[in-house]
A and B are shown apart, each in its own frame.
Chain A
Amino acid sequence: MKSNDYVLAVEGLTVSFDGFRAVNDLSFYVEEEEIRVIIGPNGAGKTTVLDLICGKTRATNGSIKFRNNELTKMSEHKIVHAGVGRKFQNPSIYEDLTVLENLEISYPKGRTIMGALTFKRDNTILDKIHEISDITFLTENLNDKAGLLSHGQKQWLEIGMLLIQDPDLLMLDEPVAGMSVSERKQTAKLINSITKGRSVLVIEHDMQFVEDIAHRVTVMHQGKVLSEGTMDRVKQDPKVVEVYLGH
């Protein structure tokens, strides 16, 4: 397979903060409609990888190719326009706005000043908002202030805000943190149902959840790939057992 068949091709990626290499010569590839989970101990550089892909942090070296577009030089909003969506570790939603308004802002229309001034909430947008709120279990809460949602619902809302952008690559940083067991199950189901036409890159610590969703798993340790493959294979890798899955 040539490198341009991948949705995301990360090659030789390095970032150093004052000499400390948080990510060190990292390479991995994500395929179409794949759910890839990155796991690893604290400080392995997982979140930094997402920061690098979405442009929040700039790479010192290496390349990130998304459908053959080089992302390392693009500005953050251009990366979003190219089709990369990113959920933050703590649910990052607009607490003073309603759920509907949260979703509306994320809808990819009226992103310039003029566009926003002439923006109208038409039926196409409302239908899309209802569709997304249905699959993220938030239909009942559309007119609630987002700040009043439970922690799990906030996580869902942020996932919904990404889905409404319809990204080709969806990056989720700890999407089930703070969720109950049943909410985790629902989220796993949700993530499995959204891979049509898009790839998903997830960081997660909850192994049950990882087993539920992962097509392939990348284990990171000290800024490098320690192991990669299906969950079963990774689980049996002695290196992984030693540094992460443990004793």
Chain B
Amino acid sequence: MKKALLNYMPRNELFMYFGLLALLAVFLPTVLDIFRLNLVGKYLTYAFVAVGLVLCWGYGGILSLGQGIFFGLGGYCMAMFLKLEASAPENTSIQSTPGIPDFMDWNQITELPWFWEPFNSLPLTLIGIILVPTVFAYFIGVAMFKRRVGGVYFAIITQAIAAILTILIIGQQGFTGGVNGITDLRTLLGWDIRTDSAKYILYFVNLVFLFLVLLIAQFVRKGKIGRLLVAMRDKEERVRFSGYDVANLKIFVFCLASAFSAIGGAMFTLQVGFMSPTFVGIVPSIEMVIFCAVGGRLSLLGAVYGTLLVCWAKTSFSESFPELWLFAMGALFIGVVLAFPNGIAGLYQKMEFRKWYQQWVTDIRKLRPMITAAQLEEKYKSKNKAEKVNTLVDSPNIDLNSSELSKVST
């Protein structure tokens, strides 16, 4: 049991997880004021997307430039519930139709649209947050992967879908709140989410979900699916002709990544207090890919650090030079691709103190008896000896065959 767990979570990686946990759950809450901590919480909601991209893009080789779609859908589901709660008839008595969200009233809508109805209930909303984006991803996946659309084409199509969804949300102002998004969210089941204490609590709830998602991703990465994803990235045909339905594998990882993104989106809405189309479209989707690339697209924890770093840089940069941020981000992306293609995680792996750590681990291991690889081989050889002798006797050898052949031909 312990050994099986160690397969999924080797000791050195567990160390790193605790390091991240200490940073996020202890260090940052003690040194930052609630405004800054809330910002970190907001950044971390993007980390959900970046973690999904590590699996989907880093491992599976499927680059999606439309993860904002799923982040947005998750966020909108949450926002719709909060908005309905904020639009209770007693709060909206000045509207011509009390009890519906304010933007609907402004758009001369007199009745709650049918697709808003389920969001009156919190359980349905929570299911919807995961289900709506995942089902949407499933349909995109089936439509694309079953027809063997992949690579650049897939990236472009996801980007197009992100653009379409943004336009749709902005265009259907009466149903979606339009370009302003869904704003003025106040309470969750009567609990005011705008207070400082609520922000603290939500920050930690967010952390719990983030680590849950990280553990799921770690399980997938270390299991057979992780190895299959790498195999598929390298040699898709070989995987297909080894008896796997490659399309299903791609759909699975794409849906998983979108479910992660959706959780991030919902936590975003809760912590920031609104949701708008600016988090759905092409620009945020590409930003999310950059977070993942900067962190290192093969490292789950790298994705979290990358997200934090880029978002923090974005905030501090835009505070002083708002117009320069986009250039800085472009430069960052080029820099990552040219100078350190494996991101922060790749840099870390090159660094000396990693070697020191490994030296330390091997020193520790020397102190206790261990079976070497050679001994393990020995064990297997002696076990299989009997069978091996049998197969050797059964197999016709080469000389026998050619003499048979000459008999046939003469």
Contacts and interface: CB of A to CB of B under 8 A. Distances in A.
B227 A113 contact: no
Main secondary structure of the interface of A (DSSP, over half): helix
Nearest to B253: A113
Interface size class of chain A, counting residues whose CB lies under 8 Å from the partner chain:
35 or more
Interface in B370-405: 373, 377, 380, 383-384, 387-388, 391, 394-398, 401-402, 405
B394 A196 contact: yes
Contacts of A193: 391, 395-397
A192 B394 CA distance: 11
A80 B224 CA distance: 19
A11 interface: no
Given A94-B238, A143-B373, A192 B243 contact: no
A76 B240 contact: yes
Interface residues of B, number: 42
B156 interface: no
Main secondary structure of the interface of B (DSSP, over half): helix
A119 interface: yes
Contacts of B408: 230
30 contacts: A76-B241, A77-B240, A77-B243, A77-B244, A77-B245, A80-B241, A81-B243, A85-B241, A88-B238, A94-B235, A94-B238, A96-B230, A101-B227, A105-B224, A110-B224, A111-B244, A117-B223, A117-B224, A131-B387, A135-B391, A139-B377, A143-B373, A165-B242, A188-B398, A192-B395, A192-B397, A212-B398, A230-B409, A232-B405, A233-B409
B231 interface: yes
Contact of B242 (A75, A161, A211): A161
Contacts of A97: 227, 230-231, 234
A101 B238 CA distance: 14
Nearest to B234: A94
Interface in A76-125: 76-77, 80-81, 85-86, 88, 92-97, 101-102, 104-106, 108, 110-113, 116-117, 119
B163 interface: no
A170 B87 CA distance: 67
A73 interface: no
A80 B8 CA distance: 30
A122 to B, nearest CB: 11
A94 B224 CA distance: 14
A131 B230 contact: no
Contacts of B220: 117
B395 A95 contact: no
Q: Across the A-B interface, give the 5 residue pairs with the lowest CB-CB distance, nearest first.
A: A193-B395, A80-B243, A119-B224, A232-B409, A94-B231
A113 B248 contact: yes
